[in-house]
Amino acid sequence: MAYGITMPMRESGFDIQRVIELIAERKIEEAMREGKFDDLPGKGKPLPLDEEWFAPPELRPALRLLKSAGVLPDWLERAREIERLREDTLRLWRIAEREYPRACQLSIERFFEWRESTWQRIATLMQQVNRLILAYNCTAPANTCPQIPFQIERERERFYAQFKQEPSHP
Residue 157 has pLDDT above 60, yes or no: yes
Mean pLDDT of 118-126: 97
The pLDDT of residue 58: 80
**Per-residue pLDDT tens for 56-75?**
778 778 878 877 888 878 88
The pLDDT of residue 5: 47
**Per-residue pLDDT tens for 9-66?**
455 566 788 888 888 889 888 988 988 888 877 777 776 656 666 667 787 788 788 7
Mean pLDDT of 87-96: 97
Q: Give, rounded to a whole angstrom, the gap between the first and last alpha carbons of the chain.
A: 82
Other C-beta atoms within 10 Å of 127: how many? 14
Residue 170 has pLDDT above 70, yes or no: no
In Å, what is the CA distance from 80 to each residue of 51, 72, 75, 110, 126? 9, 10, 9, 36, 15
Which helix (H) or strand (E) segment holds residue 14: the answer is strand 13-14
Residue 4 has pLDDT above 60, yes or no: no
The pLDDT of residue 1: 43
Q: What is the average pLDDT score of the chain?
A: 84
Mean pLDDT of 150-160: 96
